[in-house]
Structure 1
Amino acid sequence: MAKVDVDLVKMVMTRTGLDVRTVAQIIEEINLELKAQEDEDEKPPPVKKQFVMMVSDPEGKLEGLDLVGWVLQIPEEDSVYVAEERLFRCAYEHNLSKKGRRMPVKTIAEVCEHVPARIAKEQKIWIKNKEPVYMLRTSNKVPMETKEGDF
């Protein structure tokens, strides 16, 4: 829908010979509708989000451990075991660059935080978060309701 200036509408209506009171009433209605639309258009502020990794642990082997890690992506047809090697190659490539010679990366955390996405993309790995995130363990079972209504 085209946006038209209210003053232009007022000028056209007075030019067509409408009564001044009628024009004022119509302009007032238009202003009320514009204000109502502006109120509807206001969006709530976006919710801040964080990454979490959830690991299935049905045997409970990870219970009591606080683990952190990074969320990575690799091509679907590749083995997941190549991810670490690709991060190593990202570190090597970065350390060969001018910036890498000044500030070389020595740990996986530094690779995820400081290596540019361009280098990671060349190695076919995408780092989804620069800072490590907590890994949550789950038993991988959804509790079912019992007859008494308890879980």
Structure 2
Amino acid sequence: MRGLHALLLVSLLTCFSVRGRRVCGKEAIRVLQNVTKLLGDATDGTLYTPEDITVCMAENLNCFHTELRVIQWEHREHTASLSLLIRHLSQLEKLRTCKTDRQCHPCEGHREQPMPQFLSKLLEQLQWDCWVQGSNMHSCPSWPG
């Protein structure tokens, strides 16, 4: 039984760190804040937006990633900034392999929201991810919850 506990602990720790270094989306948050300013109050269309950011992190990041590609297609003038944000999300997705016991919705199963709400929820997701990763709360953008 002791070996099982050790295996479980090791698998949990790998969900939260890579090679002993905690990784969170602080840089992705900075890029997202820049993208949000660039896009302004653009309200053209709606995007599938995960609501519960505290579960299904990998699936949520994948959904945000997919929908950011839609924004990139519609706002080609901001391709460079959006590509950088998408790259950061891709890196985070690869690290968030933990699965939950809860049923995760496919991206299309989430409600559609206008772009400002989508971007706000993505910011909330990245802040939550950063908080969960145990980063120094003074160096990590604040978690509103």
TM-score, normalising length from structure 2?
Answer: 0.23
Q: Which structure has more RCO (C-alpha within 8 Å, separation ≥ 6)?
A: 2
The structure number with the bigger radius of gyration is: 1
TM-score, normalising length from structure 1?
Answer: 0.22
